[in-house]
Amino acid sequence: MGNSLCNITTTSPEETIAAGERLARWLHQGSVVALRGGLGVGKTYFTKGIARGLGVQEEVTSPTYTMIAEYEGTLPFYHIDAYRLEGDTDFSSLGAEELLYGPGVSVIEWSERIPQSIPKDALIVEITILEQNQRLITLRNMPE
């Protein structure tokens, strides 16, 4: 995995959303953001910010049971949750791989569960809890 390119500390869900919104400026057609981190670290808040930054008007919620949610913004936005998948084969059987190479931006929560499916040029975003409301967001493999 690449070196850490950026560390962001947030102290509220709103700041985590704002960090995702700022990141969206760097994303383009075909961008894949692979989120990593345990339960309750703020992956969905970060995703909400990316969606907002891409002009998505709908409320973004975690697609834990549907596994893939599609939204319309300035680019198609795909929110994928790999938590319930048994691995790369499950991911492939969903047909989700074609989204990663499609016309939109894909954000994958629990990306560590499908390591072989994550494109080599994906942006890896690791979110960890520092204390109470503080989160450390580490970006690696920043897209150009």
pLDDT for 94 equals 83
For residue 126, what are the β-bridge partners? 36, 138
User: Can you tell me the distance from the alpha carbon of 53 to that of 13, in angstroms, rounded to the nearest whole number?
Assistant: 16
pLDDT for 4 equals 61
pLDDT for 3 equals 59
Tokens of 62: 């975690």
Q: What are phi and psi of 19, to 5 degrees?
A: -65, -40
pLDDT for 144 equals 47
pLDDT for 142 equals 52
pLDDT for 130 equals 94
Average pLDDT by stretches of 10, the chain with 144 residues: 76 97 95 94 96 95 82 95 89 85 93 93 95 92 58
Parallel, antiparallel, or unpaired for β 68-72 and 76-81? antiparallel
Sheet of strand 4-10, all strands in order from the earlier edge strand to the far edge: 4-10, 134-140, 123-131, 32-36, 105-109, 76-81, 68-72
Looking up tokens 């599609």, which residue turns up?
Answer: 70
Instruction: Domain 4-95+106-138: give its CATH superfamily.
Output: P-loop containing nucleotide triphosphate hydrolases (3.40.50.300)
- Domain residue ranges of the chain, discontinuous segments joined by +: 4-95+106-138
Q: What is the pTM of this model?
A: 0.91
pLDDT for 125 equals 96
